[in-house]
A and B are shown apart, each in its own frame.
Chain A
Amino acid sequence: MTPVMTLERSQELFDQVLRSARALGVPDVEATVMAGSHALTRFANNGIHQNVSETSSQLSVRAWIDGRTGRASTNRMTAGAIREAVAQSVAITRAQERDPEMLPLAGPAPGAPVERYFGGTADASPQSRAEAVAEAIQIVEEAGQTAAGIYSTGESILAILNSAGVRAYHAETMCQFSITAMAADSSGWAKASACDRGQLDPAALAGRAARKAAGSREPAEASPGRYTVILEPAAVLDLVGQMFADFSGTALADGRSFLASRMNSALFGTNISIVDDAGHPLQSGAPFDGEGLPRVPLSLVRAGVPEQVAWSRQAAHGAGVDPTGHGFPLPNEYGEAPMNIVMAGGETSLDRMIESTERGLLVTRLWYIREVDPYQKMMTGMTRDGTFLVEEGRVTRGVRNLRFNQSLIELLRNVEALSPSVRACGEEAFDMAVPAMKVNDFRFTEVTRF
């Protein structure tokens, strides 16, 4: 099956860009081509209520003129619109003052492609999504509960080409299934994503959400305070995922990273090791950055010590280090960030974490997580859709949702046990490979009404 846009078509578009730029006396130009076809079937109250599809494309042109750069984008792929985008890009570039430190366009660099395109995901029909949703609803409904969720499928391409010879192209498919099961005074949730639709099991996810809703009914109120918590992978992802924008050379230079003055020190527990690896089998996304540079694997944290951060070309040049292929599309203020996080897991199963807990809380997912203190990396947020009391090695009942205020530095010092890592997805951070975690002294500050 052919992706929604091929490399050859992307090259044709770039050739038009290059001709237009040269006609304006500008030899240095970059084109970013994006195209996608996405569909999402949404359900609530045990029925499909929204069902949508989108096909779109975008051509984004960046001119570089002697230490100045600007970007103009259009979704009209006509010759006239392309000429206009190039002319606008050149005009806003010329409007700027020269920055003598700005690097010229990147040249080509070899990188390993990754295979993340599956025809069976790209061509999923509305009918096939509706039938899977109907089966999932039935499972929840048979448990006496109400289901809400989504089933999405789609494909996208990203191509970055420039006049210095960069030809980076990536095609990918992606599907997601997410479901919330609601009982009278409780709820449960499950979500999964994959490039290959064959790896998704909506019925199993529905069953999991329904069991969580049933198990957390008639919730008790747990007092705020310090608890041993068992965070399921989605909760780990959404919370720990908040810190990776700080693993950036630009963020360090700006003084907005919590790692400022803390690199190469024993910051976290020795059981914490984290890499960024675009080629990891549990990962998704393009293996190159916003300038088309290959993403280099990074050891972000080794045995508790932060030892590497991401570097864009520009930030690396300023710091006198090698770029790592994690730059955002230029121009931008944020520089770069690792986007393919893989946290090393352990060998403790979730069941074993529960069995080993005298008194604690089991957390399915977290919600509305925001930064309270940027240097202590203190985050606040709520538990949601399945929070349970663990007593004497057993899950005994559901509890009302709690608000936490928790430093991520402190959290990663207090990890007692880790499960094997899995591909996890939530709603507050991009998908990552993370384990479940048993954490001591997790700080809850308030309780809500449900």
Chain B
Amino acid sequence: MKRLALEALDRAAGRGVEYADVRLSESGDREVTTKNGRAGHVSISESTGLGIRVLDRGCWGFAATDDLSPEGIDAAAKLAVEIARSSAVARRHPVTLAREVSYQAEWTSPCLIDPFSISVEENLAALLEVDRELRRVAGVSLAEASMVFDRTRQVFASTAGSVIDQTRTVSGAGFSALCFEDGEIQKRSYPNSFGGQHQLKGYELIHELRLAENAARIAEEVVALHKAEQCPEGRFNLILDSSQLGLQIHESIGHPIELDRVLGSEANYAGMSFLTLDKLDSLKYGSGIVNVVCDARIGHGPGLGTFAFDDEGVPAQCTDIIRAGRFTGYMTSRETAASVGGARSNGTMRAQGWNRIPLIRMTNVSLLPGEQSLDEVFGGVEHAIYMETNKSWSIDDKRYNFQFGCEIAWEIRNGRRARMLKNPSYSGISTEFWNSCAAIAGPQHWTLWGVPNCGKGQPEQVMGTGHGACPARFRDIKVGSAYQE
């Protein structure tokens, strides 16, 4: 792979460009699902190709191909240069890149049990056991379970002299139970909605999730939701479980701190950001107990945003995003770092695969643990609403106004669950929400959640991101406006 990557780099560099890099990757994945006692989707796939990115006349050009013959590679290099030169017709400012030293590196993510060494039969058996447990509960009309595994090896080579060989293994699994009854559809998922939990791990993740052990509880909850009362409308203390808080971080902190959004690159599609440059180091983003980092280092945990180097050849880093409530940092790239006074990129450029350019993407954007016990989070106020597991999520194109729905809620009185509530939702303005943060549970309750389906860019790229969070309590949050008349 290295030889091919360097050959492609030579083809681009030989055309006299200012800078070039090549990403050659080969990936393989497996997806196994079950539905109501039967195998659902059973598939494996592989993809190999390379993308050549060049900077010429101050403009970017990119061409990707899966034709790895000498002719195919040469055609891609030629096209990348042609595209860059055509861009000069509408060039605004020449692109300049922050300095970065060159690296020769090899890195493989930790993986205790190779998921591809486990048979499809074993995958199916584990999922069908979950399926049986779910459908043992009367009222469950649809039981679905899934496992996904992906391994990607990528060689990055640049005219700056870097050659970086990385291999990442990602696993994911989860299940859901749906109940349709009396003109109402309710759903419960475990350990999270939309495919469950996903981490940079091997098959050990599947063992850790204890899927079958949680199936009966989830099935009983979905049936019970039909008899639960509607979540009330009004302003309440709100407690969120760590998976829902992970998505809240993703939408109301992770996306707004993407510097390319702030600078307008995504204006036509994903949108822009309320975090204009004047707010750096001045905006009170959250209450004093809110500390958020963007951390791609392995020491942060096995997140979907964990790597050794980003897709521009910049080492993984940790950046303070919110420190004691104050907004302190953006996610940057080599092209954008200088616009916020950065001498170098903080390493967040990531591409979906060989056929896409790297963009500024969340790595692991995490809320650091607090100092309170779970009893204090739940019992610190007389009355609260506790919501668990995301059901719907929506936020405006500058990331101010959000509305989230959850699968289930409970009314909490004096720290105890008083009654189950259905159809819970809450809404607000991002900075007002984080400034209302009143309690965050301690490190023993911290989970690094994976969001496998974050979309951005044109053509769209889907990326996995990580979000560490603990259960946390927020004051005076608007609840139930989705259903309010």
Q: Which A residues form the contact surface with B (CB < 8 A)?
A: 38-58, 60, 68-76, 88, 91-93, 95-97, 99, 125-127, 129-131, 133-134, 137, 146, 148-150, 152, 178-180, 182, 187, 189, 254-256, 260-261, 331-333, 367-375, 378, 380-382, 384, 401, 403, 405, 427, 445-450
Residue from B265, B396, B429, B481 within 8 A of A44 (CB atoms): B265
Cβ-closest 5 pairs across A and B = A47-B92, A255-B180, A73-B45, A126-B86, A448-B401
One of B10-18, B61-69, B312-320 at the interface: B61-69
Collect the chain B residues with CB atoms within 8 Å of residue A53's CB.
Answer: 62-64, 79-80, 83
Is the pair B60, A49 in contact by a Cβ cutoff of 8 Å? yes
Smallest CB-CB separation from A76: which chain B residue? B48
Closest A residue to B431 by beta carbon equals A449
Which A-chain residue is minimally distant from B142 (CB atoms)?
A254
Task: Please name the residue on chain A nearest to B87 by beta carbon.
Answer: A48
Contact between chains at A43 and B47 (CB < 8 Å): no
**Interface set, chain B 457-485, CB cutoff 8 A to A:** 458-459, 481-484
- Known: A75-B66, A380-B403, A445-B484. Is A43-B264 also a contact (CB below 8 A)? no
Within 8 A of A (CB), among B304-349: none
For the complex, what is the distance from the CA of A38 to the CA of B62, rounded to whole Å? 12
Are A146 and B144 CB-contacts (below 8 A) given A403-B401, A449-B274, A449-B401? no
Q: How extensive is the interface on chain B, given as a class?
A: 35 or more
Q: Are A150 and B458 in contact (CB under 8 A)?
A: yes
B392 and A380: CB pair below 8 A? yes
Confirm or deny: B49 has a beta carbon within 8 angstroms of a beta carbon on chain A.
yes
Residue pair B459, A52 in contact (C-beta under 8 Å): yes
The answer to whether A97 and B41 touch across the interface, beta carbons within 8 angstroms, is no
Q: Knowing A95-B120, A333-B33, A374-B185, say if A88 contacts B459 (CB, 8 Å).
A: no
Chain B stretch 403-448: residues in CB contact (< 8 A) with chain A: 403, 405, 423, 425, 427, 429
Q: When each residue 150-187 of chain B gets 1 if its CB lies under 8 Å from chain A and 0 otherwise, what string results?
A: 00000000000000000000000000001110011101
A449 to B82, CA, bound (A): 42
Question: A residues within 8 A CB of B187?
Answer: 374
A57 proximity list for chain B (CB < 8 A): 66
CB distance from B62 to the nearest CB of A (A): 4
B197 at the binding interface (Cβ < 8 Å): no
Q: In the complex, are the beta carbons of A92 and B120 less than 8 A apart?
A: yes
Contact, CB under 8 Å: A380 / B394:
yes
> Is the Cβ of A134 less than 8 Å from the Cβ of B396?
no
Closest to B121 in A: A95
- Residue among B120, B264, B427, B483 making CB contact with A446, cutoff 8 Å: B427
User: Contact at B42–A130, with CB atoms within 8 Å?
Assistant: no
Check if A95 sits within 8 Å of B124, measured CB to CB.
yes
Given contacts A53-B83, A180-B267, A182-B267, are A152 and B401 in contact (CB under 8 A)? no
Instruction: Spell out B's residues near A (CB within 8 Å).
Output: 33, 35, 38-49, 59-67, 76, 79-80, 82-84, 86-87, 89-93, 119-121, 124, 141-142, 144, 178-180, 183-185, 187, 263-269, 271, 274, 355-357, 391-398, 400-401, 403, 405, 423, 425, 427, 429, 458-459, 481-484
Tell me the bound Cα distance from A58 to B61 in angstroms: 24
Q: Name the one of B66, B178, B429 contacting A256, with C-beta atoms under 8 angstroms.
A: B178
- With known contacts A43-B90, A255-B142, A152–B459 Cβ distance under 8 A: yes
**A96-B42, A146-B264, A179-B268 known; A370 and B33 CB under 8 Å?**
no
Residues on B with beta carbons closer than 8 Å to the beta carbon of A127: 86, 89
Cβ contact within 8 Å between A71 and B64 = no
Query: Considering only CB atoms, which chain A residue lies closest to B355 in the complex?
Result: A54
Point out the residue from A50, A187, A381 that lies within 8 Å of B60, measured CB to CB: A50
Nearest Cβ on chain B to A331's Cβ, whole angstroms: 5
Evaluate whether A378 and B482 lie within 8 angstroms (CB atoms) in the complex, with A131-B89, A137-B90 already known: yes
B42 and A70 within 8 A (CB):
yes
CA distance A401 to B39 in the complex (A): 45
What are 11 pairs between A and B in contact, CB < 8 Å?
A: A48-B87, A51-B87, A56-B65, A73-B45, A133-B90, A137-B90, A149-B268, A187-B267, A375-B185, A380-B403, A384-B271
Do residues B41 and A333 form an inter-chain contact, with CB atoms below 8 A? yes
In contact, A38 and B459 (Cβ under 8 angstroms): yes
Do A446 and B62 form a contact, CB below 8 Å, given A96-B39, A382-B401?
Answer: no
CB distance from A32 to the nearest CB of B (A): 12
Which residue, B33, B63, B87, B92, has most C-beta atoms of chain A within 10 A? B87
- Chain B residue numbers with a CB within 8 Å of A446 are 401, 403, 427, 481
**Distance in angstroms between the alpha carbons of A449 and B275 in the assembled complex:** 13
Known: A75-B66, A126-B61. 6 other contacts (CB 8 A): A53-B62, A255-B180, A367-B396, A380-B392, A382-B397, A446-B481
Minimum CB distance partner of A332 in chain B:
B41
Within 8 Å CB of B82, what residues of A? 126
Q: A-B pairs with CB below 8 Å: how many?
A: 271
Given known A-B contacts A50-B60, A54-B64, A449-B401, A331 and B89 have beta carbons under 8 A apart:
no
Contact A47 B83 (CB under 8 A): no
Q: Chain A binding site: helix, strand, loop or mixed by DSSP? A: strand
Name the residue among A53, A58, A150, A256 with the largest chain B CB count within 10 angstroms: A53
A255 CA to B186 CA, complexed, in Å = 10
Q: Which listed residue (A367, A384, A449) contacts B429, Cβ 8 A?
A: A449
Q: How far is it, in angstroms, between the C-alpha of A150 and the C-alpha of B269 when the chains are bound?
A: 9
Residues of A within 8 A of B49 (CB): 56, 75
Interchain CA distance A48-B168 in the complex, whole Å = 33
Residues of chain A within 8 A of B91, CB atoms compared = 47-48
Q: Is the CB of A401 within 8 A of B396?
A: yes
Do B401 and A405 have beta carbons less than 8 Å apart?
Answer: no
Complex formed: what's the CA distance from A343 to B314 in Å? Answer: 50
Residue in B86, B144, B263, B396 whose beta carbon sits within 8 Å of that of A384 in the complex = B396
In the complex, residue of chain B having the shortest beta-carbon distance to the beta carbon of A97 = B39
When chains A and B are docked, how far (Å) is the Cα of A445 from the Cα of B426? Answer: 12
A332 to B458, CA, bound (A): 27
Known: A47-B93, A51-B62. A368 touches B185 (CB 8 A): no
Provide the bound-state CA to CA distance between A380 and B395, in Å.
Answer: 10
* A372 and B59 contact, CB distance less than 8 A: no
B42 and A75 within 8 A (CB): no
- Chain B residues closer than 8 Å to A131, beta-carbon distance: 89
On chain B, the residues within 8 Å of A146 by CB distance are: 264, 267
**Chain A positions within 8 Å of B403 at CB level:** 380, 403, 405, 446
A111 to B206 CA separation, bound complex (whole angstroms): 45
Q: Note all chain B residues with C-beta closer than 8 A to A381.
A: 394
Give the docked Cα–Cα distance between A4 and B474 (Å): 55
Cβ–Cβ < 8 Å partners of B269 in chain A: 150, 178, 427
A449 to B431, CA, bound (A): 12
B80: nearest residue on chain A (CB-CB)?
A53
CA distance A50 to B267 in the complex (A): 13
Whether B178 lies near A255 (C-beta < 8 A) is: yes
> Which residues of chain B are within 8 angstroms of A56 by Cβ–Cβ distance?
49, 64-66, 355
Closest Cβ–Cβ distance, residue A402 to chain B (whole Å): 9
Give the complex CA separation of A7 and B135 in angstroms: 46
Given contacts A134-B89, A405-B482, contact A372 B405 (CB under 8 A): yes
Please judge, given known A-B contacts A51-B60, A72-B45, A449-B429, whether A333 and B484 are in contact too, CB under 8 Å.
Answer: no
Q: Which of A57, A99, A255, A405 has the most CB of B within 10 A?
A: A405
B47's partner among A75, A150, A331, A401 (CB-CB below 8 A) is: A75
**Is the CB–CB distance between A331 and B60 below 8 Å?**
no
Does the CB pair A75–B48 fall under 8 Å? yes
> A70, B43: Cβ atoms under 8 Å?
yes
Q: Whole-angstrom distance from the CB of A321 to the nearest CB of chain B?
A: 20
A96 touches B124 (CB 8 A): yes
From known contacts A55-B67, A254-B178, infer whether A73 and B43 are also in contact, taking CB-CB under 8 Å.
Answer: yes
Contact A178:B59 (CB < 8 A) given known A48-B87, A70-B42, A446-B401: no
Q: Which residues from chain B contact A91 at a C-beta distance below 8 Å? A: 120
B residues in contact with A332, CB < 8 Å: 40-41
Given contacts A51-B60, A72-B44, contact A380 B482 (CB under 8 A): yes
